[in-house]
Structure 1
Amino acid sequence: MPPGITAAIAQEKRPSAKDRREMVRIIVEEMRLNEPNPSKSQCQTIAKMIVKRRKQKRISNAPEDIARGPVDQYGCVRWQPDCPPGETVESLKEKKSEMKDLYHTEGPASAERGYVIQLMKTTYYLQRKNINACPPPSIAELKTEWPYLFTPREMFSHFSLLTDINILEKMEQAMEEKGKVILRYFQHKTAGTSADEVECILVKYNKEEKCDPWPCVILLLMAHFKEKSEAFYRQM
């Protein structure tokens, strides 16, 4: 690459028109060594790779771990952390905008990309600042501003940063230790009684071979406390 391109990348500045043209010429020549007449989609793929390599430097200096604060009354340890070193609110807003564009073009599946995972971790400070705003934003507003935050991976990751608790491990442990006890309790409690919602759930569970008991346990508890399942989660 021309020296001006290297310097611009290091300083995070826009290269001059002359350097950009020289960069295009070099890349096209390299591409034509393998493909004399590259298609538009091939050019777009390579362009995205180049942009990704340049932007990777912007997040490479992000702290490996966000500083842990004191535990508050709700068990949170990173309720509102400091802005990460080397970043500003404006630079974090740029990353936020980039993620919104990525989500719009690639959808929720892109949440598994390492680049997106790192961007979400880097912008955690801004996420908390938005969530903790007064008046607080609505869920719909948050989903518009932080769409990746509502993907399973990032929801669990955010909770882990906020509380230092791996919620999936905790849920699995709780189900393993208490789920079977709860299931046996309801099986014993409904024996010989008239059919009701609890017994209907047990009947469906008993009909299924090798059925995962954990959804059944949740449904049983909700039925017992007369909670509406549709208000808690969506059944597929």
Structure 2
Amino acid sequence: MKSLSMPHPRDDCSTPCSLADTDILSSAESTSSDSSLRSQPWPLKFQIPEFSYEVQFQLEQGNQAFLNNGTLLHPSTKLKSDILQSLASEMAKYKIYPSSAEFDNVAEALITKYPCLKEKGSVTGYYGWKISLKYKMANYRTRLRNIGCQELTINSVKEKRSGMGPGPNQVKKPRKAEVNFCPDYPPGETKESLEEERKALLLEVKKKNNDQLIKRKMEKTFAYRRQEIIKGMPFIAEVKNRWPALFSETEVVAEFTRITMVPLLSTFMAKLDRYADHLLRVFKKKGGTAKRNINLIMAAMDGNPSVDVRRECILKAVCVYLNEKPDDLFKEFLDVDLGASRETEQLTLGVYVVRHEGADSADTPEDIGVIIEGCTVLQALSDMAKGCALLLGLIYSLNLSYPKHLKYTFEFLQKVLMELDGNNLSMKVQVLKNKLLE
């Protein structure tokens, strides 16, 4: 998706430390019993793993001394390395590239469980542990890359020099709380065997009443498809040609769940309805031009109080509240508009609705769909809110960046409604969230 992808700074890795390859493989495979996929996002409260008997014995002795007379443990180089190695291995089960806040979570959890490891010279009591853990995690990434972990080999110098990568100083890694960003192939599968599955899938899409078979094949080829999209960054038209099954409501929802481990439509609609009254209350307090524009949007609810119209109006009002234009996200056309097809071909990304000439908001639209890079990727949707949710799902499925002119709206959808990376908000979205929770 070259037209929507964005460059990112490279993550520099330190010199690898000594670690058996089998230990890395076992920790990576332990994330799922039957595939290479991770099964859960970063935990709300990080659980410190059980260390080896030798390490556990020393830490328990240190804790006892701390409880008896307040003596802090000064770990030896080996003990500290063993602790950090176990923590890095546990963190990799959730994320290969943890954020600074997540390093804080782990370091704080460590000294909470083992207060004897607190640092006197640190305000938090764990700052040194956090820095050491960052270095250890960088070393661990290097070792994983060397044994072929796809989530890391895509950022290797060799891969970038081969022309697959966008540049030597850009790192492809999760940016939107993806749990399975670039997974490895399922055990026993190769690129060639999965390509055969893809070809078989092309035939199955043309048949009727075989949704379950398509679903199984889409699940089996997920890692192959994901690597192809992330490494090659193909245009939407090319993805549609190679993976037509992906562009259906059912598979967009399934793909989003594979990537984030969060159900798309049920979560999106439930949170939107949950916050609806709070959002309406916040909108009423808005002043100036934004208030007038929001009132014009909300007027549609007077003629049609259905839940679909209510959701659509609220989503448009969120755009206005965040100083963005709802017309950039939601496009309306008349079925007699001869220039509509030309205009849609110029759209980078959006949800469109086609209405009959002379129809009002209470009438059923002729069509609702999603457009990306000028291509109609979904059609015949039931309502605009669903179109917005599926557009978010496609952004994840196709590894797209949010358009700059709608970045706050999509941040709200991702982090407030879907609660993906919800603790890392921009000031503008944080203010709105605070008002919702008052």
TM-score range, shorter chain: 0.5 to 0.7
Deviations for 1:146-170, whole angstroms, at most 9, x for unmatched residues? Answer: 1111212111211111111112232
Q: Is the 8 A contact 2:297 2:317 kept in 1?
A: yes
Closer, same or farther: CA 168–149 of 1 in aligned 2, 3 Å: same
Deviations for 1:94-139, whole angstroms, at most 9, x for unmatched residues? Answer: 1111222333x34xx76x71000000000001111111114x1112
Q: Distance in 2 between matches of 1:194 and 1:133?
A: 41
Q: Is the 8 A contact 1:77 1:162 kept in 2?
A: yes
1:130 matched to 2:100: no
- Counterpart AA for 2:242: E
- Counterpart AA for 1:122: K
Residue aligned with 1:77, SS: coil
1:78 matched to 2:180: yes
2:300 to 204, 209, 213: 204
5 Å-filtered alignment, 1:1-236, equals 66-68=36-38, 69-71=93-95, 72=97, 74=175, 75-103=177-205, 105-106=206-207, 113-134=211-232, 136-187=233-284, 189=286, 196-212=292-308, 213-224=310-321, 225-227=323-325, 228=328, 229-230=330-331, 231-235=349-353, 236=368
Q: Is the 8 A contact 1:76 1:163 kept in 2?
A: yes
Structure 2 portions without partners, runs of 5+: 1-32, 39-92, 99-174, 332-348, 354-367, 369-438
Residue aligned with 2:271, SS: helix
Q: Is the 8 A contact 1:160 1:166 kept in 2?
A: yes
Closer, same or farther: CA 189–152 of 1 in aligned 2, 3 Å: same
Closer, same or farther: CA 114–186 of 1 in aligned 2, 3 Å: same
Closer, same or farther: CA 130–122 of 1 in aligned 2, 3 Å: same
Residue aligned with 2:231, SS: coil
Structure with the bigger percentage of strand? 2
Q: Distance in 2 between matches of 1:216 and 1:119?
A: 38
Q: Distance in 1 between matches of 2:282 and 2:182?
A: 42
Matched residues, number: 168
Q: Is the 8 A contact 1:205 1:211 kept in 2?
A: no
Q: Is the 8 A contact 2:36 2:185 kept in 1?
A: no
Structure 1 portions without partners, runs of 5+: 1-62
Deviation at 1:64, TM superposition (A): 5.5
Deviations for 1:72-95, whole angstroms, at most 9, x for unmatched residues? Answer: 453222222221123221121111
Q: Is the 8 A contact 1:201 1:216 kept in 2?
A: yes
Deviation at 1:208, TM superposition (A): 0.9
Q: Distance in 2 between matches of 1:207 and 1:85?
A: 56
Q: Distance in 2 between matches of 1:222 and 1:145?
A: 34
Q: Distance in 2 between matches of 1:87 and 1:204?
A: 53
Structure with the bigger percentage of helix? 1
Q: Give TM-score scaled by structure 1 length.
A: 0.61
Q: Is the 8 A contact 1:175 1:214 kept in 2?
A: yes
Residue aligned with 1:233, SS: strand
Deviation at 1:145, TM superposition (A): 1.1
- Counterpart AA for 2:189: E
Q: Distance in 1 between matches of 2:307 and 2:269?
A: 16
- Counterpart AA for 2:294: V
Q: Relative contact order, CA 8 A, sep 6+: which one is greater? A: 2
Deviation at 1:185, TM superposition (A): 2.8
